[in-house]
Structure 1
Amino acid sequence: MAKDSKKENIQRIRITLKAFDHTIIDKAVDTIIQTAERTGAIIAGPIPLPTKIKKFTINRSTFISKDAREQFEMRIHKRLIDLRETTSATIEALTNLSLPAGVDIEIKML
């Protein structure tokens, strides 16, 4: 019984990062991990999630020639970081953190 209540009191944070460029997302992950290590949180990750590829096919010509097509793609890279045993200093450091432009961050409290 005592172990179950102790597990429930542990605060966990799940951070999901999305970006179109993998180098930018890796820099953002490094800065998040460094700040979390400075505050004493236990880090699980970064876990690279599958890259989502969106393909768009368009006609090259405006009128004739259906055979002439061009294909474009957008690659969306994702990373997942879990932080355990976080403190208020960890949360404050993460909110004051400046990440590179082009990185979408989603933070969930578990």
Structure 2
Amino acid sequence: MEHYLGVKVQKGLFKSPLRKDNTPTCGFYRNKSGRLIMKDFSGAFIGDCFAVVQQKFQVSYYKALQIVANDFGIIQRPNLTVNKPKLEYTGSVLEKTEQARIQVEIRD
């Protein structure tokens, strides 16, 4: 996702690169099947790398697959622009290290 978002995959919140955002409302996590997911806690977006490409370029799932395959040299499509990475890859691995602790304050 770093390739298209220009944001390092790491723990913590960041401002959404998919919309105007003044407050850090987005984060990365791995779902139960191990896929890396970006979630915008404003409710504006949740999805994997292909959903990010769909949202960023306003294209269908099929077109998003073509864009990703073209950008990473899996296919060569002269009618598709090659999107250069927004930043250098970090090789970061987002791993589950401990259980999350959720604290709630109940108000009357």
TM (norm. structure 2) is 0.20
Report which of the two structures shows the higher radius of gyration computed on alpha carbons.
Answer: 1
Greater relative contact order (Cα < 8 A, sep 6+) = 1
TM (norm. structure 1) is 0.20
